[in-house]
Amino acid sequence: MLFSFSRVTELTGGVVIRVQRLGDETRNAMKPNGMGPGMAWPESQVVQSQQTNGMRERETASDSQRLKRRPSSDDGNMGLPVVQNSSVSAGLGGLKVPGKDAISFAAVLRSRNKISDALALYDSILESEPQNVEAHVGKGICLQSQSLPRQAFESFANALRLDAQNACALTQCGVLYKEEGHLLEAAEAYRKALMADPTYKAASENLAIVLTDLGTSLKLSGHVQEGLAKYYDALKADSRYAPAYYNLGVVYSEMMQYDMALNCYEKAAVHRPMYAEAYCNMGVIYKNRGDLDAAIACYERCLAVSPNFEIAKNNMAIALTDLGTKVKIEGDIHQGVAYYKKALLYNWHYADAMYNLGVAYGELLKFDMAVVMYELALHFNPHCAEACNNLGVIYKDRDNLDKAVECYQMALQIKPNFSQSLNNLGVVYTVQGKMDSAASMIEKAILANPSYAEAYNNLGVLHRDAGNIPLAIDAYERCLLIDPDSRNAGQNRLLAMNYIYEGDDDKLYNAHRDWGKRFNRLYPEFTSWSNPKERDRPLTIGYISPDYFTHSVSYFIEAPLVHHDYTNYHIVVYSAVVKTDAKTQRFKENVLKKGGKWREAYGIDEKKVAGMVREDKIDILVELTGHTANNRLGVMACRPAPVQATWIGYPNTTGLSTIDYRFTDALADPPNTTQKHAEELIRLPGCFLCYTPSPETGPVVPTPALSNGFVTFGSFNNLAKITPRVLRVWARILCKVPSSRLVVKCKPFCCDSVREGFLTKLEELGVESLRVDLLPLILLNHDHMQAYSLMDISLDTFPYAGTTTTCESLYMGVPCITMAGKVHAHNVGVTLLHQVGLANLVVKTEDDYVDKAVELASNVPSLANLRLGLREKMLKSYLCDGPKFVRGLEEKFRQLWHRYCDGGDVPVETTKDAENEAHFSRSASTTGDVVTDMPMKEVGAAAPVPNAVAVVTPTPSPTSTLSTTEGNSLSETRTKSQKRSPSSLDQPSQLAHSPAP
């Protein structure tokens, strides 16, 4: 089955941007000021952050500048105006300072932070010269330094009473206003200072600072345009003021005018080369534009300036995680892993990088590492439902269903409407046969996400398992309406149509052909090969399949792998097995021992596998899966080999124009068949299958009717094959043999509602439920085979007959009744029964089917005799003659190769050849004791395919488990894309990237 487990799609968040605010700072006196939510850092904190890196932003105006009234060529002593014709004595350690030097000396004391001495000197000057403006200003600055703003303001006011145009006093008043939070008054004071002296730098710088603060206040109160205007006014006052450019960049970013924002950030960085925040915000813009290289370069510049800037380190981790996902999607998964690891160097607790590492390790089949990364992601982000979901997929693939359920339920505790985990929980319940619970979960997934295509696919599988094919097809088609390219739903629909197709029209062929045309367009097709066209050289044969484990197909591919002539036929096996077991290992060891090659293909892109096939110079490539689970038809679509064929795994055409041949025989597909195929039919001698029984079957037991006193009919085919038509025929048989019973085994019978529905249908047809035994799936192969001891006669299904179940039934001594039809799926039982000499159990009509069953049931001694000898007869038949079968197969390979070497114009077989094959097959067994049939597993049964995360390979166990009997794919949704949280601009928030899956 093709099931889909889900993981989440990308989660993208908005950018959080902070505006710088200057608080109580000026260019002259600065002290820390707190930041409110959403506020930019005060200028003081910007300065402090720069100082931690050994740098300081542009120096404030010097004290000498602040005391200077106007530039003058007469200024001396550090450029300060001096007081003329005065003599001042200061009590500074007995030192007397001449009047003309007192002002300069006071300035020196202030510059050396000897504020008390400077203040005493200013007081001394003012005692003798109360009209000295410079002394009033200097005294005010000293008082301001001692946090005495009122006294400082009084000194500045005294200076202004003496000189109303004193730029320094006006500027210092502005500083005091700003420190008290009176920004408008501060701005007015700075403007007056500039009117008095347009060249006074301290005034222009401090005006820029306060206008920037005003702009930020306006912006935060919702008046964005007025705030922008203030920022531009700030730049008019001081065109080099970097924070104004920076805050303009923040506002333009919020307005999504990113080009303008970048321009402003770049100007901020030009005027302040150590402006770490500007580089950081530039990086966020580039990152959100998808230019990850530019973003990373900006973060590197930021961290070069400020190595401990946590926001930039977090954003760097985010960008590197994004870059890792980008290169992984492009095909370089190892480089992606390297970027994820590098991201953790910048932020070692970044959960999304750990999560994405988990996804990557899963794709690399390193499931233990994937589990570790998901667990770490959960530790650092307990709300990461995606990690819980993906852990569930891994545990499910490891057959630890209880742990998988626990993980999915944990994910749903975090996100109750998490559609992927709802879907995946439904998948597990479906695998367990808990149909009611599965339906509830999948329906909830659809309710949570009505456009969730995979959930509709899984709903279709659920209906198919429950035997309701029309509803299954409807669900698949609803999935395809949402996602026309859904491979799972498209192939599941084709498979489901086989259950009800009688061969009366070309509807099923057209459906396959349409699918094939669409699918072929997705893959580039090779048109030339370097294989030497030498007719009789040793050929290289490739077999590609996911079913080299205890699975229905494995019983029919074992003979070729064991009995090929490895000298003349070099065998290369491409194994796409999801979960290996002891049988996988046995196949591999045998192939390698005989000189063949075993290539692992699971988890590798189909185009890359096609490249492997070309490298191996495969002459004839045979795929064994068709439209059943985990197929590799994408490899065949690339046509990597000059000759390609399909065989065993699917009872119909693939629909692909790139597959040349389909192996069958003259009984499964008679020469006069009207069924159409995209491939040319190649009829193998005798039978198109060779069965190798499991060594775990156990002995044949006597027919149970001898001890029971009644005959038991039975079927172990899956419920989808037991159509209403089949059930009606079986009911007729039970009614005609009143003492008989019916035993049916299939996975959904562990669900009460399915059991009740099945029994209700039989009761409506006149069969009491007490006469029917319903068995659920039996996991161990030995126990499954011994369950055939419960039945005397096996009843085959139609129009989709059993294959593996029929072979198992015959091997356990239970004869099987089958009905011939118009199509291959209907006739598989026909060719199997002919091989073991039971052609008399092949019927053509429903009435004949009922009569044959009644006839068999009426002769228990004959059943008993047939049962005791049927296994030996089968082992001696062509059906189990591996060496003979493989010789016939190799002859066909050689004929196909000759045809290719000759240009492909010579037909491989004529109608007469096909008729001879039919005659040979029918005469293969002439003695036909009455035989009852036993149900078999459907060919192509496979485990569900996960969508994104690779599957764990369990260690082989001594007792292999029976695979499920379905060829559909359940879609497990694993979160494989990144998980993303928003990048942060100047604040410690994280940008995170995640996978669903």
Whether domain 705-922 has CATH 3.40.50.2000: the reply is yes
Buried residues in 899-911 as b, exposed as e (16+ CB within 10 A): bbbeeeeeebbee
C-alpha neighbours within 13 Å on the C-beta side of residue 839: 14
Burial class (CB in 10 A: 0-12, 13-18, 19+), 380: middle
Local structure of 664: helix, strand or coil: strand
Tell me which residue of 466, 467, 464, 430 sits closest to 445, measured CA to CA.
430
Report whether CATH 3.40.50.11380 matches the domain 547-650. Answer: yes
Lowest-pLDDT choice from 286-290, 496-500, 826-830, 914-918: 914-918
Q: Which residue has the higher pLDDT, 97 or 722?
A: 722
pLDDT band at 100 (very low <50, low <70, confident <90, very high): low
Q: For 196-230, write each residue's pLDDT tens digit.
A: 899 999 988 999 899 999 999 999 999 999 999 99
Q: How far apart are CA 650 and CA 966, in angstroms?
A: 11
User: What pLDDT does residue 433 have?
Assistant: 80
**Letter for the amino acid at 527?**
T
Angle at CA of residue 580, ends 574 and 582, nearest 5°: 110
Q: Is a pLDDT exceeding 80 seen at residue 912?
A: no
The answer to whether domain 59-236 has CATH 1.25.40.10 is yes
Structure tokens at 904: 């492909």
Q: Is it true that 1-23+33-49+240-504+967-997 and 547-650 share their CATH fold?
A: no
- Distance of alpha carbon 429 from alpha carbon 453, whole angstroms: 19
Determine the pLDDT at residue 4.
36
Looking at the chain, the whole-number percentage of residues with pLDDT higher than 90 is 71
CB 476 within 8 A of CB 489: yes
**For the chain, what are the domain ranges?**
1-23+33-49+240-504+967-997, 59-236, 547-650, 705-922
The residue that leads in pLDDT, 37 or 436, is 436
What is the pLDDT, as a whole number, of residue 945?
31
Q: How far apart are CA 818 and CA 797, in angstroms?
A: 7
Is residue 688 classed as helix, strand or coil in its secondary structure? Answer: coil
Split at pLDDT 50, 70, 90, the class of 971 is low
Distance CA 796, CA 117 (A): 113
For residue 302, which of 280, 286, 333, 324 has the smallest C-alpha distance?
280
Q: Where are the alpha helices (DSSP H) in 129-275?
A: 133-145, 149-162, 167-179, 183-196, 201-220, 224-237, 242-254, 258-271
Rounded CA separation 933/739 (Å): 19
Which secondary structure element, helix H or strand E, spans residue 881, and what is its range?
A: none
CB 241 within 8 A of CB 212: yes
Q: Do residues 917 and 666 make contact, with C-beta atoms less than 8 angstroms apart?
A: yes
Alpha-carbon span 185 to 214, nearest angstrom? 11
How many CA atoms lie within 13 Å of 339's alpha carbon, on the beta-carbon side? 24
Q: What's the whole-number mean pLDDT along residues 870-883?
A: 97
Q: Which pLDDT belongs to residue 969? A: 54
Q: DSSP class of residue 879?
A: G
In whole angstroms, what is the distance from residue 838 CA to residue 609 CA?
A: 43
Burial class for 752, CB neighbours closer than 10 Å (0-12, 13-18, 19+): exposed
* More confident site: 431 or 640: 640
pLDDT band, very low/low/confident/very high, at 948 (cuts 50, 70, 90): very low
Q: What is the pLDDT of residue 904?
A: 62
What gap in Å lies between CA 958 and CA 955, rounded to an integer? 10
**pTM greater than 0.75:** no
Q: Of 167-176, 466-475, 538-547, give the lowest mean pLDDT range.
A: 167-176
Tokens of 751: 């669900």
357: left (phi over 0), alpha (psi -120 to 50) or beta: alpha
Mean pLDDT estimate for the chain: 83
Question: In this structure, what are the phi and psi dihedrals at residue 493, rounded to the nearest 5 degrees?
Answer: -65, -45
41-74: pLDDT as tens digits: 233 333 233 333 333 233 333 333 333 333 333 3
Q: For residues 948 and 358, is the Cβ–Cβ distance under 8 A?
A: no
User: Is 283 within 8 Å of 296 (Cβ atoms)?
Assistant: yes
What three-state secondary structure class fits 573? strand
Q: Tens digits of per-residue pLDDT, 19-28? A: 444 433 444 4
The predicted-structure confidence for 700-749, as pLDDT tens digits, reads as follows 999 999 999 999 999 999 999 999 999 999 999 999 999 999 999 998 99
Identify the CA nearest to 582 among candidates 620, 554, 613. Answer: 554
Q: Which residues contact 752 (CB under 8 A, 6 or more apart)?
A: 436
Going by pLDDT thresholds of 50, 70 and 90, the confidence category of residue 975 is low
- DSSP structure string for 441-508: HHHHHHHH-TT-HHHHHHHHHHHHHTT-HHHHHHHHHHHHHH-TT-HHHHHHHHHHHTTT--SSSSHH
Question: Of all residues in the chain, what percent carry a pLDDT higher than 70?
Answer: 81
For the stretch 580-636, pLDDT in tens is 999 999 999 999 999 999 999 998 999 999 999 999 999 999 999 999 999 999 999
Separation CA 312–CA 306 (nearest Å): 9
Dist CA 644 CA 679 (whole Å) = 10
Is residue 673 very low, low, confident or very high in pLDDT (cuts 50, 70, 90)? Answer: very high
Which pLDDT band, with edges at 50, 70 and 90, does 503 fall under? Answer: confident
pLDDT given for residue 431 in this prediction? 86
CB 996 within 8 A of CB 977: yes
The CATH class given to the 1-23+33-49+240-504+967-997 domain equals mainly alpha
More confident residue, 607 or 911: 607
Q: Are strands 569-575 and 597-600 parallel, antiparallel or unpaired?
A: parallel
Distance CA 464, CA 775 (A): 18
Nearest alpha carbon to residue 655 among 785, 497, 810, 798: 497
**What stretch of H or E contains 661?**
strand 661-664
Structure tokens belonging to residue 554: 């494995």
Q: What is the pLDDT of residue 921?
A: 36
Q: Which is more confident, 114 or 983? A: 114
Least confident of 100-104, 265-269, 283-287, 694-698: 100-104
pLDDT class of 800 with cuts at 50, 70, 90: very high
- 269, 278, 263: which is closest to 19 by C-alpha? 278
